[in-house]
Amino acid sequence: MISVDPSWPEMGWRRYPGAPDTGLPLFLRLVFGLILLTICLASFPLKAATVFGVVSERSAAEMAAGAERFNRHYPEHKVVLRTTEQVAKLG
């Protein structure tokens, strides 16, 4: 025998029995979902990046050598390294 939940008509057309109550209308959930999807998809076309790093005076030579090696392998990216003294002079 099939039993019918008597509260079903009172729940509205957007809910099904046992569904969690999100507190947001369906329209707002759809808009929020579309915004998240747009943000996720907008990050895919990025092909190149700029990496900025602040290094100490002692490790500047090793980091510069590492940046040159990185640029040989990934020429579409840009590496910008500054020492703490150079950053202090900027600000």
Per DSSP, 63 falls in state H
Q: Which carries the bigger pLDDT value, residue 48 or residue 4?
A: 48
Q: What span, in angstroms and rounded, lies between the C-alpha atoms of 87 and 63?
A: 16
Task: Give the pLDDT of residue 26.
Answer: 79
pTM: 0.46
Q: Give the closest residue to 70 by CA, choosing from 53, 57, 58, 86.
A: 53
Tens-place pLDDT, residues 15-50 = 566 666 666 677 888 888 888 888 887 777 666 788
Q: Which carries the bigger pLDDT value, residue 53 or residue 8?
A: 53
Task: Give the pLDDT of residue 68.
Answer: 94
Task: Give the pLDDT of residue 83.
Answer: 92
